A = this chain, B = another copy of it.
């Protein structure tokens, strides 16, 4: 990467990881990616997923390194590799055991959603008919996550739960992958109330490139997307936004079924899809994989952002958030 290439961080992907994709990360100049390592897995299953990542770190040591701190983003960049940060899209990996919060952090987990679509032990999910807010255990877990340096992520949580999490948390939270509801009014996108509270508390929104989160879906244009980014910056301020593409490259449709239905139902839940559109939707043609990051940057520039502003959006803001968020309280 030339020295004027911005630091690039994608704060959510769940690809079917392979050497091909790791090489595309390098082609796209990604310095760091937050990868999902569990949806409905329990602790033991999550450990097995980390084992699979450890094997990738061994096999592809020339392409990826484990990401634990903001410094690892710089270390990856200096050595021409991509730092991989672990995240959980649900709290199932900590089971009913608050002690597993620190264990997961020790194992490298840096983000955890308090709920995924459904009610969890900690919070309500965005598809629940009722939103009970943060539970008794949820309050304790947020405090423990704040203590050890594990970021609260409310991407798939319901509105009241999200607002309560922002209020209860003593450190900024994240919505790693979603867009404004005003732009595209689907259940997973976020209200202005949430986005403003998030920004005021020092939190971060990662703009999603998952077609169900985009106005016009797979047909969304780069121009429309970047205009939406500009409008959101007017609401939230420049320093509170980044990218969380939700790229699910090369995944078979069985995976989206696992993401949505896990083991919680005997019926198929279609989540953001529908019976006639059950699988992964096709990506917009201007963001097919990690090699399209520079294209995204050109789109942001055309929407009126200066080069330093583009750099903040595609990585600088997340890097600053990583620096503030991953160390134990009192050490950051």
Where the two chains meet, the residues of A that have a C-beta atom closer than 8 Å to any C-beta of B are 43-44, 47-48, 50-52, 54-55, 97, 99-100, 102-103, 106-108
Q: Are the C-beta atoms of B106 and A51 separated by less than 8 Å? A: no
List B contacts of A47 (CB < 8 A).
43, 100, 103
List B contacts of A99 (CB < 8 A).
48, 51-52, 54-55
Q: What does DSSP make chain A's interface, helix, strand, loop or mixed? A: helix
Q: What copy number does this chain have within its complex?
A: 2
Q: Report 23 cross-chain contacts, Cβ distance below 8 Å, ordered by A residue.
A: A43-B44, A43-B47, A44-B44, A47-B100, A47-B103, A48-B97, A48-B99, A50-B103, A51-B97, A51-B99, A51-B100, A51-B102, A51-B103, A52-B99, A54-B99, A54-B102, A54-B103, A55-B99, A103-B107, A106-B106, A106-B107, A106-B108, A107-B107
List B contacts of A55 (CB < 8 A).
99
List B contacts of A43 (CB < 8 A).
44, 47
Which 10 pairs across A and B sit closest by C-beta, in order of nearness? A51-B99, A54-B102, A44-B44, A47-B103, A106-B107, A51-B103, A43-B44, A50-B103, A54-B99, A106-B106
**Besides the known contacts A43-B47, A48-B99, 4 further A-B residue pairs in the complex with CB atoms under 8 A apart:** A48-B97, A51-B97, A103-B107, A106-B106
List B contacts of A100 (CB < 8 A).
47, 51
A43 CA to B45 CA, complexed, in Å: 11
List B contacts of A48 (CB < 8 A).
97, 99
List B contacts of A51 (CB < 8 A).
97, 99-100, 102-103
